[in-house]
Structure 1
Amino acid sequence: MIPVPSRVEGYSSQLYYIENALKPLGYTIGGNWDYDHGYFDYKIDDEVGYQFLRVPFEAIDGQLDSHGVIVQIGRPFLLSHKYQVGLDDHVESDMDGLSALVDQFQEPQDPDASFPEKYVDLGKALVQELEAVLLD
């Protein structure tokens, strides 16, 4: 994980407006959100895992699943997830395969894999674009 200091840290607005500004740029709300916090993810590449610019946010007025919630953006960071090749150990050991139907996604081999140096400058440029869209 590589933190990228930014002027967007501390910026707050309705989640709806931030999402509408970032979605056309390629950001999605990551699936690992909770009622009080979440992440905007920009997928940089999927070479040997996935490389993301991740922009954290937290609810400061309301809950994320409520209309009009106000969120505050935290410090963006660059993140790599490296996934296992082949089947998960726990799926292979299931006799009936029911768990394989329910839990079909692989566990990360290294959720904090080193971030490829060749994408660091791109990640910083994406943060500058983020600042321009939200702050200027």
Structure 2
Amino acid sequence: MVPINSEVENKIYPLYVLEERLKPEGFVIGSNWDYEKGYFDMKIDDDGIYYFLRIPFYAVAGSLDYPGVTVRVDQPFLLAHQYQRGYDEEGAGGALRGAFDQFQSPVNADADVPDEYVETGREIMKKVERLLLPGS
């Protein structure tokens, strides 16, 4: 995990505003959210390791399943997950095998992040700042 400094850290937004501005840029709300916290994730690359830029957020007024919830953005970071390659690289395992593989644990949940991806993450966060901060 590599923390990325950003001007959006500790800023408060209605969640729908973040969704309206970040989803068109390729961010998705990660499936590992709960009622108090969640993450906007952007997959940067997959070269045998998945590289993600993750922007965490926490509910400050309401809960994440509540319309109109307000959230505070926490420090963004880069994350690298190295997944085990399946027994069948050609895909002959079919849909059933794919259904099981999507839930596999990473071989290395905190793989190293090369400098080129750190720079890419910083560039993406500069764009996020322009989208979210007035006058940026």
TM-score w.r.t. the length of structure 2 is 0.86
1:111 to 103, 109, 117: 109
State percent identity of aligned pairs: 47
CA distance in structure 2 between the partners assigned to 1:102 and 1:25 by the alignment: 28
TM-score w.r.t. the length of structure 1 is 0.86
CA distance in structure 2 between the partners assigned to 1:101 and 1:134 by the alignment: 37
* Equivalent in the alignment of 1:126: 124
**How many residue pairs align between the two structures?**
124
Q: Give the superposed CA RMSD.
A: 1.5
* Equivalent in the alignment of 1:7: 7
- Assess, with a 3 A threshold, how the Cα gap between structure 1 residues 130 and 101 changes in structure 2: closer, same or farther: closer
Q: What is the DSSP-based 3-state SS (H/G/I as helix, E as strand, rest coil) of the residue aligned with 1:33? A: coil
- Assess, with a 3 A threshold, how the Cα gap between structure 1 residues 102 and 73 changes in structure 2: closer, same or farther: same
Structure 1 residue runs without a partner (length 5+): 88-99
CA distance in structure 2 between the partners assigned to 1:41 and 1:130 by the alignment: 12
* Equivalent in the alignment of 1:94: none
Structure 2 residue runs without a partner (length 5+): 88-96
Could you list the structure 1 runs, at least 4 aligned residues long, displaced by more than 3 angstroms after superposition: 100-104
